[in-house]
Structure 1
Amino acid sequence: MHKTSSRLLALLSLLQMHRDWSGDDLAGRLDITSRTVRRDIDRLRELGYPITTVKGPAGGYRLEAGTHLPPLLFDDDQAVALAIALQTAAAGTTVAEDASRALATLRQVMPPRLRHRIDLLRVTAVQPHAAGDTLQVEAQVLMDLSRVIDAREELRFDYAASSSTSVDNSRRVQPHHLVTWRQRWYLVAWDLHREDWRTFRVERIRPRTPTGPRFAPREIPGGNVSTFITSRFRGNGGTTTDWPCQGEVVLHLPAADVAPFAQDGIVEELGPHHCRLTLGSWSWTGLAAAIGRFDTDIEVIGPPQLAAAFGDLAARYTNAARTTGQVRTDRSS
């Protein structure tokens, strides 16, 4: 039974690579017969995975997007990593309640050996003092704003002038960017009534439906959203421009995962799995090290000094890996 489950997990991992697989290729990768591949494909379909048969001389299979979430299969390390991520997200983020429920669900279906490992984890996410008044943002609002930004559709919404008032103002905007700044989410948009660029606190936004027509994107002042945000908030507790070294990178992580750990930076959502981070430091090496802690693929936008600092760090880390375990002692006679 364990062998069959492991094989199903390996088969699913191959299908999730977003390409067509012939039956012979899958059989060769898994070291099984084509008949066993067909039988395992049927098992995955019974579990709810929408696997279609690809027509052609050799035939094949493709994993499609489904209409519901089927049972998920994780190996031990993936399950532990997911539990750690959910514990971190459950500690003061915008999706805290959903993360706590997801963690409870995951724990219930874990085998005893993994459940014991998870129960030993006690993760505490400490928020900076300045973020103590941060209001929670509804995950659905973030999803709604992300959709209209991607579709380039005009948006109508009710907007509370402040967190202490219930009087809403109706706005009609062309939404351009969803960003975080010092533990708060902001929508950067062109206000059609005021004919000017505006930033809106997301927790005060209540989107209306339906959305408006599509629009051609305008060029944001300053050339990019980081310059625009820092210019708008300059003088309100400092900005990333206060640092002598400032760089810009693209991280292969969702903006919501990066924002809690980049309090002094600007995080711009680029898609469901990518974000742009603008961050500052006292040195280029320190900045490269700070960005490297996110443990993901990094694309350096600029400046060249930051790219050079990553190269210097890579050489140092490579040398450190070679000398691991070698202890040098200097003794005086």
Structure 2
Amino acid sequence: MYQAISGHREINFIHHGAGGTLRRSVEPARLVSINHRWYVHGWDRDRRDWRTFRMDRISDMVVTENRFVPAPLPTGDLVEAIQASFAGDEDSVASNPDTRLVVLELDADPATAASSLHRIDGALEPTSDGTRTRYTALVDSHEWLLTVLVLSDLDFTVLDPPEFRETVARTAQRFGRAL
């Protein structure tokens, strides 16, 4: 999936959803974790619309040789697109008005990042060279995200917001005093 997203290659798969089993052709844009499940968000070529598919409901996936130019997200904003996908799901952090957005760059490829990050909703995007990952996290607590990052053992750079950068700095100072 990561190679398809970073290489802008169409994927074909069978999706087993509530409405039945359908074959889909999708231009994958992002991998998203919401409520402890992974989803692929992309342009559904059959429906000619943006769709979000649960990864555990996908089978027989094939990465094709068909390349595409990524379409802009319908809202122009990844978080808004994710929130729209989960509108009405009261249990989703994406639909919570108190959700905070944190943007990080992780010193890991997307596959390693996905296997190391637990219990944080958000989207993973490979950087242009594919060796690092841009992580757009949706959180209700900066402290919880920092705990997950410490446990993940991944190096990271805070891109946004300044408040999370301050939380990291305060915690680093406190840890430094413990030595």
TM-score bracket, shorter-length normalisation: 0.7 to 0.9
The whole-number CA distance in structure 2 between the counterparts of 1:147 and 1:298 is 22
Post-superposition Cα deviations, 1:4-36, rounded to whole Å, max 9, x if no partner, equal xxxxxxxxxxxxxxxxxxxxxxxxxxxxxxxxx
The whole-number CA distance in structure 2 between the counterparts of 1:147 and 1:274 is 13
Residue 151 of structure 2: aligned partner = 293
The whole-number CA distance in structure 2 between the counterparts of 1:209 and 1:295 is 32
For the residue of structure 1 that corresponds to 2:152, the secondary structure is coil
Q: Which runs of 5+ in 1 are unaligned?
A: 1-144, 322-333
- Matched to 2:107, the amino acid is H
The whole-number CA distance in structure 2 between the counterparts of 1:159 and 1:225 is 23
Post-superposition Cα deviations, 1:143-193, rounded to whole Å, max 9, x if no partner, equal xx222222212222222233xx8x532222211122222222211110122
The whole-number CA distance in structure 2 between the counterparts of 1:294 and 1:224 is 27
Higher helix share: 1
Post-superposition Cα deviations, 1:67-105, rounded to whole Å, max 9, x if no partner, equal xxxxxxxxxxxxxxxxxxxxxxxxxxxxxxxxxxxxxxx
Residue 311 of structure 1: aligned partner = 169
The whole-number CA distance in structure 1 between the counterparts of 2:63 and 2:145 is 43
In structure 2, relative to structure 1, the CA distance for the partners of 1:244 and 1:158 (3 Å cut) is: closer
For the residue of structure 2 that corresponds to 1:217, the secondary structure is coil
- Identify the match of residue 248 of structure 1 among 96, 99, 103: 103
- Matched to 1:199, the amino acid is T
The whole-number CA distance in structure 1 between the counterparts of 2:137 and 2:36 is 14
What is the number of residues matched between the two proteins? 171
- Native 8 Å contact 2:106 2:154 kept in 1: yes
- Native 8 Å contact 1:179 1:269 kept in 2: no
- Identify the match of residue 82 of structure 2 among 229, 249, 257: 229
- Matched to 1:219, the amino acid is P
- How far 1:215 moved relative to its partner? 0.9
Residue 32 of structure 2: aligned partner = 179
- How far 1:306 moved relative to its partner? 0.9
- Native 8 Å contact 2:103 2:137 kept in 1: yes
Q: Tell whether 2:133 aligns with 1:278.
A: no
For the residue of structure 1 that corresponds to 2:25, the secondary structure is strand
Residue 28 of structure 1: aligned partner = none
**Highest RCO, 1 vs 2 (Cα 8 Å, sep ≥ 6):** 2
The whole-number CA distance in structure 1 between the counterparts of 2:74 and 2:148 is 28
The whole-number CA distance in structure 1 between the counterparts of 2:99 and 2:80 is 15
Q: Which runs of 5+ in 2 are unaligned?
A: none
Residue 123 of structure 1: aligned partner = none
Q: TM-score, normalised by structure 1?
A: 0.44
Residue 204 of structure 1: aligned partner = 57
Residue 157 of structure 1: aligned partner = 13
- How far 1:224 moved relative to its partner? 4.4
Residue 67 of structure 2: aligned partner = 214
- When Rg is computed on C-alpha atoms for both structures, the one with the higher figure is 1
The whole-number CA distance in structure 2 between the counterparts of 1:232 and 1:210 is 24
Kindly, what percent of the aligned residue pairs are identical?
A: 27
- Native 8 Å contact 2:107 2:131 kept in 1: no
The whole-number CA distance in structure 2 between the counterparts of 1:230 and 1:278 is 12
Residue 238 of structure 1: aligned partner = 92
- Native 8 Å contact 2:93 2:138 kept in 1: no
